[in-house]
Amino acid sequence: MAQIIDGKAVSAKVKEQIRKEAAEIKKQGIEIGLAVVIVGSDPASRVYVNNKKKACEEVGFTSYEYTLPEETTESELISLVEKLNDDDKVNGILVQLPLPEHIDENAIINAIRPDKDVDAFHPQNVGHIMIGDFNFLPCTPAGVMELIAETGVDVCGKNCVVIGRSNIVGKPMAMLLLHKHGTVTICHSRTKGLAEICARADILVAAVGKPKFVTPDMVKEGAVVIDVGMDRDENGKLCGDVDYAACFDKAGYITPVPGGVGPMTVAMLMRNTLTAAKIKNNIM
Ligand code: GUN
């Protein structure tokens, strides 16, 4: 039977530590600000943005929200990003993805000043992560690493399998596991023998975006199973990429959805924002 990794509890611990550090910095008259930009009215994005604003309140940051209509043009959005780049009150800029189809996401990501890119999506920051010399960690993969650390399982030398190869999760996830000396395999939609590869994983990270994709035959006895998915099952109920109930007895450790990776992503965003403020103010 698996032990549940409680992302809510771990994220609360991390946020409390950030709150204390931010309070110390505030004593020097420094305010920490995060700008969150949302374009359109995607309900899931709305929930994520609200969670980010709430976390800012919890840790004592100021959040600046910009809600733009669906028809916003690419150049209008770039103008806003440029304004935020130059705004001294803003330490971090987050443009919620996905953006409407008529806006090129890469153009927006490239417009964010790398020292305010608290998502770590800018190519300059991606390069730093690849090399292993970085200020900002990609939020979701960093949150996953914290959850793995919480189990006490050492990544060093372990078979780690990441399902999914997105720029936001899969690729940087593989890199962070590699930095901790894991032996990493990235699986994706064209991988042959995916189930067998997963079944050899000591640490399995599912980031495919398909409800209950990971079934017990894909889980090694006692494995650490981390579920990055935020999906809807056949009844419209929130679920992850892992068939949680079915895999529960086989896994050694497992994250629930909700209450696993989700809260950690937000906590890591707060950490990156604190880092940006510290660097700007030469506090290290
Ligand atoms: N959409 C889904 N996850 C994320 C994230 O971590 N950052 C941003 N900006 N958009 C997202």
Residues belonging to the active site: 52, 96, 119
Is position 24 within any domain? no
CATH of the domain at 165: 3.40.50.720
Q: Are 109 and 151 found together in one domain?
A: no
Q: Are 165 and 247 found together in one domain?
A: yes
Nearest partner of 40 among 49, 31, 29, judged by Cα: 49
Exposed/middle/buried for residue 209 (C-beta within 10 Å: 0-12, 13-18, 19+)? middle
Q: Are 239 and 170 found together in one domain?
A: yes
Under DSSP, the state recorded for 162 is E
Cα of 179 vs centre of ligand 1, distance in Å, is 23
For residue range 253-276, list pLDDT tens digits in order: 999 999 999 999 999 999 999 999
Task: Ligand 1 pocket test: pick from 34, 52, 96, 228 the residue with the most ligand atoms within 8 Å of its Cβ.
Answer: 96
pLDDT for 175 beyond 90: yes
Question: If you average pLDDT over every residue of the chain, what do you get?
Answer: 98
Question: What pLDDT score was predicted for residue 50?
Answer: 97
Phi and psi angles of residue 53, each rounded to the nearest 5 degrees, phi first = -65, -40
Mean pLDDT of 39-67: 97
Q: How many domains are there within the chain?
A: 2
Domain that includes residue 196, residue range: 139-262
Token duo for residue 248:
């529960």
CATH of the domain at 88: 3.40.50.10860
Is position 19 within any domain? no
